[in-house]
Amino acid sequence: MNIRGEARVSFRGGPQIDMPLLLGIVGIATLGIVNLYSATSVYGDAGQRAHLADIYVSQIYWIAVGVMLAFLVAAIDYRHFERLATVFYMGGLVALGLVFVFGADIRGASRWIQIGSFSFQPSEFMKIVVVLMVARHLHNDPKTEPRTLIDLMVPAGITLAPIAAVMAQPDLGTSLIYLLSACTMLAMTKIHRQTLLGLGLGAGALGATLWTYVMRPYQKGRITSFLDPEHDVTGAGWHAQQSITAIGNGGLTGEGFMQGTQNQFGYLPDQHSDFPFSVFAEDWGFIGALVLLALYGFVCVWAVHIASQAKDRFGAAVAIGVGSMIFWHVLFNVGMAVRLLPVVGITLPLFSYGGSSVVTMLIGFGLLMNVSMRR
């Protein structure tokens, strides 16, 4: 314990490990593994069960890889990442470009680069890189006067370049994470009211353009089914309808571990990727869902606390960026599970299956730990 009474552990006088953050992450990851086991233990033929079992085992491997990278990221002074942010950013843009050359087409989207049996999603890792680049800009431009549209051109360019590449894949959900994470970080600064109005009008014009010229029919169908849930319940609205049914089945205390009927009998689609929250709520009920959301809420609030204690502007911006990335992921995934938001394919951190997503989140946690250890 330090003089402020915070639970922190140091080894041989070195940087102190942030135990509350570590315990929060371990809690989420543990519940995520348990939930994925339930999500992949469904009734079906032997081939289907074997395939889902492979998903569960693969997730454990990816978590192990992510934990090792998180420890490595936490061990390196985060100021080195500020110096290397531009290199990471250029490498990330190249990787996003390579998706269009070597990308594997999965379910109508080309987002993965496949090398033999190994595949990864560059757009996931780019989330961390965008955070580092925007944080670097804020660190190098500590302006105290309210910012104008001209002042925001650089961070806008940093964010819009990967958004354009990812929207072409297409991947609306990841594009939203880039945009909202950057906007949350920029909220640390003062912005002119006229600039905010201009940004609002620009966002409206951009949304109309994307709807007309960029978004695919299935993406539009998800939004229209959200606005009118009863219009196409067996089509575009099927996912959201089955999700809300599963959550309702859970009631107050849940149907029990691996007992959720919507999940076990295969009515809940993409239960291991897009709708793990629905599986968890059906198994453990409202009380279990509340505990999970409390863990996520704690990590996000603790990220703000870490930012407030950071020793420089870059560290504070990185903490806010990573915390906002986690917050927006949780908000959109849970929001679409309870039918408050359209289905956009955004993962639930450390709950949804996916190697690139899991590793990216753990690297983000490593950055949070890094800033906290060196405050």
Comparing 35-39, 121-125, 209-213, the range with the smallest average pLDDT is 209-213
pLDDT tops 80 at residue 82: yes
Confidence of residue 233 (pLDDT cuts 50, 70, 90): low
pLDDT at 4: 47
Question: Contact, 249 vs 286, CB < 8 A?
Answer: no
pLDDT tops 90 at residue 257: no
Question: Where are the domains positioned within the chain?
Answer: 8-373
More confident residue, 12 or 55: 55
**Shortest CA distance to 102 belongs to which of 81, 124, 120?**
120
**Shortest CA distance to 371 belongs to which of 90, 68, 132?**
132
More confident residue, 179 or 170: 179
Confidence of residue 295 (pLDDT cuts 50, 70, 90): very high
Characterize 343-352 residue by residue with b for buried, 16 or more Cβ atoms within 10 angstroms of its Cβ, and e for exposed: bbbbbbbbbb
% helix, strand, coil for the chain, step of 5: 65, 5, 25
- Residues of the chain with pLDDT > 70, as a percent, come to 77
pLDDT tops 70 at residue 227: no
- Residues of the chain with pLDDT > 90, as a percent, come to 42
**Structural element, H or E, at residue 8:** strand 8-10
Mean pLDDT of 319-340: 93
pLDDT tops 60 at residue 182: yes
pLDDT at 5: 45
